[in-house]
Amino acid sequence: MKQNALLHKQLGQVSPAIKQEMDWSCAIIDKIYSILEHKGISQRELAKRIGCNETQITRWTRGFPNFTLSSLAKLSEALGEPLIKIS
């Protein structure tokens, strides 16, 4: 997720744990956008694939969502690629 100067400044004022959470959220959102673009899938189509409305996808891809493991699993399955990897 592209960060503007104000956001970058505010990130400097939060705890390392919150910053890490935000960084992970940004990375997941970036990966979702990249997969959608690469595969030519619209947000509307993604919503249909996981059985939710397009508004939920918009909420996930804007701001800093608190993804659940369940939502990440559904998104990964619908996109055909894992969004996270645990080593």
What SS3 string covers 7-39? HHHHHCCCCHHHHHHHHHHHHHHHHHHHHHHHH
Question: Which CATH number describes the domain made up of 5-79?
Answer: 1.10.260.40
The helix-helix angle for 43-50 and 54-61 (nearest 10°) equals 110
- Nearest by Cα to 57 from 38, 85, 35, 82: 35
Chain centroid to CA 4: how far?
A: 18
Question: Is the pLDDT assigned to residue 30 strictly greater than 60?
Answer: yes
Parse the chain into domains and list their residue ranges: 5-79
pLDDT in tens, 34-78: 999 999 999 999 999 999 999 989 888 887 788 899 999 999 999
